[in-house]
Structures are given as C-alpha cells and as structure tokens.
Copies of this chain bind each other. A is one copy, B any other.
Amino acid sequence: MTYCVGILVRDGLVMIADTRTNAGIDNIATFRKLKIVSEPGRRTLAIATSGNLSVSQSVISMLAEGVENQETGELETLEAQPTMFKAAQLVGRAVREVWRVDGASMKEMTARFDVQMLFGGQVAGGRLRLFMIYAAGNFIEVTPDTPYFQIGEHKYGKPILDRAVQYDTDLYDALKIGLISMDSTMRSNLGVGPPIDVLVLRKDALVPELDYRIEPNDRYFLDLRERWSQALRTAHIEIPRPPYGNNIPGDVEL
C-alpha cells in the first residue's frame, strides 16, 4: 500500500509520500516513492507514485532515459519540456509506453496495471502546478476549490484535509496538516509506513525549500502524533453527550 498527498496553496507546493511497499502482508519493504528533479532557477519537478511498483518504477526509469516520440523517433525528457502541462503529458506518455510494453503480459497473469501519480512543480516562466495522472496517462489538475490530491490509501487521512486545508493556508501549516493526514493513515493501515519523504517548493523559488526524510524516530513527528491523538481525545470530551430520548416505539417487529 501507499499514501501520498500533494497540497498546492497560494505560497507553494507540499508533497508527502510514505515509503512502504508490500507484496502480501509478509513481504514488506522500503522504497522511495517521491522523486524530485531540480535544476535550480529553471525547474523543479516532483513525482509521487502509487500502485504496482514495477509499473511506477518503469515509468520513472523511462522518464530518466527519455520517452521515445513515436512520430519523430526522438527521446523526450522532462528537462526539455517548456511547461508543466507538456511535462505532465510526457509523464502520461511514459505511462502509456509502459502499458504498451508490459500491459498485455500483466493482463494475462491477472496482475493489475495499476498506477497513479502526483506530479507537481514549476518551470521558469510558468506557474506552480499540481496534477494527478492516471493509469491511462490522462490527468487532472488541482484548483483552489480543493487544493489537494491524494493517491493510494486515501480515506483515513481525508477528513482532516477536507476540514483544515484551504488555498490560502500557510505553506508550513499545509505541511503540518499533510503530516497529520499521513499519521492518520499510518495508524489505520499497516501497509503505509515510515520513513516519510517530504518536499516543500515555494512558489517561484524554482528550487526545493525543503527536501526531507522523516525517519521513524523523528522527534517532531512523534510529538505531532502524540499531540494529535491527545487533541482528538479531548476534542470529543468538550462536546456534550447526546440528549436524546426515544422517538421510536420501543418494540419494533422484524
């Protein structure tokens, strides 16, 4: 399993990814799922992946080597794309190319061609953007109405995002809320686990402001977990108990 979240607020982009993979509950390993390509001053791009690890790794490798343009025969790289939109299209093409190579065999073996990606960043001259790319290579883009995307095990960590993240949320508050969302997910699904990779990319900086790995014993994160648990426990205590009396006849027949 995997959990990744990307949040695009007014001041910048946050991307957070866990590192746990599992092929069955008895085969668990650590793989980095957040890849960053930065050429300071020119572009900073980041991809977070979920789904079948062979698919997502092949996409990443193919992007690193260049995706062959079927018409011209040339190898196209992320670095050569002039805009975020064209770069997202290239990621989509890489996904389709992996499908072209591996899709049929995987289908035959009933392995799902399952991949989802968050693709965020900025190219000089364009704006900071965040996309979610599907297994068909198509994609959607975040808008200020709902300024975040999740991939992987998204449900446990969604309530806090829904309530606390807005487009004008402070950049490091967005990081904090993203980490709370990650904590909720890790607590409920053992398939999502540390270390956690985080990226903070400030608007127009064109270089990562924070590129950090949170290790399992990280003091701030342990403190956040404990404070959040404590806050949840006390939050409900301050809500009055239900005042209800019966409003339905006591004996209801089946």
A interface residue numbers (CB < 8 A to B):
35-40, 47, 60, 63-64, 78, 155-156, 158-160, 162-164, 170, 172-173, 175-177, 179-180, 184, 187-188, 197-198, 207-208, 210-214, 220, 223-224, 227-229, 231-233, 235-254
5 closest A-B pairs by CB = A231-B235, A155-B155, A64-B254, A172-B241, A211-B248
Q: A164-B236, A232-B159 are known contacts. Are A176 and B250 too (CB-CB below 8 A)?
A: no
Assess whether A236 is in contact with B35, with CB atoms less than 8 Å apart. Answer: no
Q: How many copies does the complex hold?
A: 2
Assess whether A241 is in contact with B176, with CB atoms less than 8 Å apart. Answer: yes
Chain B residues near A250 (CB-CB < 8 A) = 38, 40, 207-208, 211
- Name which residue of chain B comes closest to A155, CB basis: B155
Assess whether A252 is in contact with B158, with CB atoms less than 8 Å apart. Answer: no
Distance of A172 from chain B, by nearest CB (Å) = 4
Q: A156-B158, A246-B212, A254-B63 are known contacts. Are A235 and B235 too (CB-CB below 8 A)?
A: yes
Known: A159-B159, A164-B232, A228-B239. 19 other contacts (CB 8 A): A38-B251, A40-B250, A47-B254, A63-B254, A64-B253, A155-B155, A156-B158, A159-B187, A159-B232, A179-B242, A198-B244, A210-B245, A211-B250, A212-B245, A212-B247, A213-B247, A220-B240, A228-B236, A232-B235
Assess whether A60 is in contact with B210, with CB atoms less than 8 Å apart. Answer: no
Assess whether A246 is in contact with B211, with CB atoms less than 8 Å apart. Answer: yes
Q: Report the separation of the CA atoms of residues A158 and B231 in the bound assembly, to the nearest whole angstrom.
A: 16
Q: Report the separation of the CA atoms of residues A240 and B170 in the bound assembly, to the nearest whole angstrom.
A: 13
Q: Report the separation of the CA atoms of residues A48 and B240 in the bound assembly, to the nearest whole angstrom.
A: 26
The one of B172, B179, B220, B242 in contact with A172, judged by C-beta atoms closer than 8 angstroms, is B242
Q: A156-B158, A236-B180 are known contacts. Are A242 and B175 too (CB-CB below 8 A)?
A: yes
Distance of A32 from chain B, by nearest CB (Å) = 9
Assess whether B212 is in contact with A248, with CB atoms less than 8 Å apart. Answer: yes
Distance of A241 from chain B, by nearest CB (Å) = 4
Q: Report the separation of the CA atoms of residues A180 and B236 in the bound assembly, to the nearest whole angstrom.
A: 8
CB pairs A–B below 8 angstroms (17 shown):
A37-B253, A40-B251, A63-B254, A155-B188, A156-B158, A163-B233, A164-B233, A176-B236, A179-B242, A180-B236, A208-B250, A212-B245, A220-B242, A223-B240, A227-B238, A232-B235, A235-B235
The one of B38, B242, B249, B252 in contact with A35, judged by C-beta atoms closer than 8 angstroms, is B252
